[in-house]
């Protein structure tokens, strides 16, 4: 027995036990999940029922933080986020899909070059991109975009000072940055479709449009569901792009999203309880929207 225990120690002992090894490999993920996800979630739920004015000033106030959510600033941030998320999903799912289909066609030369070209913005600093876009859509008549619209006989505008044009600039920035990533996702799905299906469709007399709707779209449905899901999440969680465009100069809260409002309440207004309530409502909203989207796309239907 003693010799056996010594040999076990040399081989690793307890950690090499077949019954223990699986738990050793799973332990890093479990620890990471508990520390990074579960504990903050539970703490956020508790903080949403508290008034926190400092490390030692904590008071239970029940549902008062949730009652304060129905303020004008919160409603405005919610409307801005919903509007942005809607157009984000529309643009970031349709435009990259169209470009991916074109790049996959045999008529496009140097497709690899264009794939890299579209993907480069995803590697660019969002702060740098925000500065460039802020200068391009500047308020001065000499700003590049204002110069362009004046060439077509239009008046220069303060693009970032109004909700409609500000949201448009935000969508353009997001499309520029993330379109290449979605193109890669779509191309991976399109390339996995058997060529026999396209050949059979051509034999049946199907044109390019018919092949797209009857072969390509059904073939990339899992990828499409994934892209829409992460786009919805990204739309409602958008914060960095808004800060990069407006920074602290956000007139009337034009570009302030739910996450931006939560950041404002938590770190500028020093109201972590209200910020926690905002975060939880955002979590419920995103889960609800994604669940509806997955149901409509037939994600939970069992294939026959």
If you average pLDDT over residues 31-49, what whole number do you get?
A: 92
CA dist 216 and 196 (Å) reads: 12
Residue span of the structural domain in which 39 resides: 2-47
If you average pLDDT over residues 222-226, what whole number do you get?
A: 91
Total domains, the chain: 2
Question: Do 263 and 211 reside in the same domain of the chain?
Answer: yes
Question: Do 40 and 134 reside in the same domain of the chain?
Answer: no
Looking at per-residue pLDDT, the higher value among 110 and 218 belongs to: 218
pLDDT at 303: 59
Q: Is 164 exposed, middle or buried (0-12, 13-18, 19+ CB in 10 A)?
A: exposed
pLDDT at 3: 47
pLDDT-derived band at 184, boundaries 50, 70, 90: very high
Q: Is residue 255 part of a domain?
A: yes
CA 51 to chain centre: 30
Among residues 31, 47, 63, the one where a domain terminates is: 47
Looking at per-residue pLDDT, the higher value among 232 and 251 belongs to: 232
pLDDT-derived band at 94, boundaries 50, 70, 90: very high
Question: Do 31 and 127 reside in the same domain of the chain?
Answer: no
CA dist 10 and 68 (Å) reads: 63
Q: Is residue 79 part of a domain?
A: yes
- The model's pTM is 0.81
Question: Do 21 and 92 reside in the same domain of the chain?
Answer: no
Q: Which of 53-62, 74-83, 99-108 has the lowest mean pLDDT?
A: 53-62
Of the spans 72-76, 88-92, 209-213, which averages the highest pLDDT?
Answer: 88-92
pLDDT in tens, 136-157: 988 888 888 989 988 888 888 8
pLDDT at 2: 46
Question: Do 245 and 207 reside in the same domain of the chain?
Answer: yes
């Amino acid at each position: 027995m003693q010799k056996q225990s010594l040999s076990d120690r040399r081989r690793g002992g307890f950690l090499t036990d077949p019954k223990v090894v699986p738990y050793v490999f799973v332990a890093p993920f479990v620890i990471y999940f508990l520390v990074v996800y579960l504990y903050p979630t539970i703490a956020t739920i508790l903080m949403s029922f508290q008034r926190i004015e400092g490390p030692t000033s904590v008071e239970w106030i029940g549902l008062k933080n949730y009652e304060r959510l129905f303020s004008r600033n919160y409603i405005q941030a919610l409307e801005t986020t919903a509007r942005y998320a809607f157009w984000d999903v529309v643009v970031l799912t349709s435009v990259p899909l169209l470009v991916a289909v074109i790049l996959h066609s045999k008529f496009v030369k140097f497709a690899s070059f264009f794939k890299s070209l579209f993907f480069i913005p995803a590697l660019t600093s969002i702060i740098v991109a925000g500065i460039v876009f802020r200068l391009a859509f500047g308020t001065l008549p000499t700003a590049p975009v204002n110069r362009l619209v004046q060439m077509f006989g239009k008046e220069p505008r303060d693009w970032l000072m109004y909700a409609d044009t500000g949201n448009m600039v935000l969508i353009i920035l997001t499309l520029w940055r993330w379109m290449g990533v979605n193109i890669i996702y779509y191309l991976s799905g399109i390339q996995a479709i058997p060529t026999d299906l396209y050949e059979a469709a051509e034999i049946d007399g199907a044109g390019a449009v018919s092949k797209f709707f009857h072969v390509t779209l059904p073939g990339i449905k899992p990828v499409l569901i994934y892209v829409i899901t992460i786009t919805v999440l990204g739309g409602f969680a958008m914060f960095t792009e808004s800060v990069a465009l407006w920074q602290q100069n956000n007139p009337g809260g034009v570009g302030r999203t739910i996450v931006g409002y939560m950041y404002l309440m938590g770190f500028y207004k020093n109201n972590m309880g209200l910020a926690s309530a905002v975060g939880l409502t955002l979590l419920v909203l995103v889960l609800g929207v994604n669940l509806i989207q997955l149901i409509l796309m037939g994600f939970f239907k069992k294939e026959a």
